[in-house]
Amino acid sequence: QKEVEQNSGPLSVPEGAIASLNCTYSDRGSQSFFWYRQYSGKSPELIMSIYSNGDKEDGRFTAQLNKASQYVSLLIRDSQPSDSATYLCAVIRAGGTSYGKLTFGQGTILTVHP
Partner 1 sequence: ETGVTQSPTHLIKTRGQQVTLRCSSQSGHNTVSWYQQALGQGPQFIFQYYREEENGRGNFPPRFSGLQFPNYSSELNVNALELDDSALYLCASSLKVGSGQAIYGYTFGSGTRLTVV
- Answer for the pair 56, 63: CB distance below 8 angstroms, yes or no: yes
46 near partner 1, rule: CB under 8 A: yes
Pair type for strands 71-76 and 61-66: antiparallel
Residue 44 beta carbon to partner 1: minimum distance, rounded to whole angstroms = 5
For 19-44, letters b (16+ CB in 10 Å) and e give bbbbbbbeeeebeebbbbbeeeeeeb
**Nearest CB to partner 1, comparing residues 52 and 68:** 52
Residue 99 beta carbon to partner 1: minimum distance, rounded to whole angstroms = 7
**97 backbone φψ class: left, alpha, beta (φ>0; ψ -120 to 50):** alpha
45 near partner 1, rule: CB under 8 A: yes
26 near partner 1, rule: CB under 8 A: no
- Within a 13 Å sphere around the CA of 76, how many CA atoms are in the beta-carbon half? 26
Residue 19 beta carbon to partner 1: minimum distance, rounded to whole angstroms = 18
**Between 47 and 86, how does the x/- string for binding to partner 1 read (CB under 8 A)?**
----------------------------------------
The binding site for partner 1 (CB under 8 A) comprises 4, 34, 41-46, 88, 90, 92, 97-107
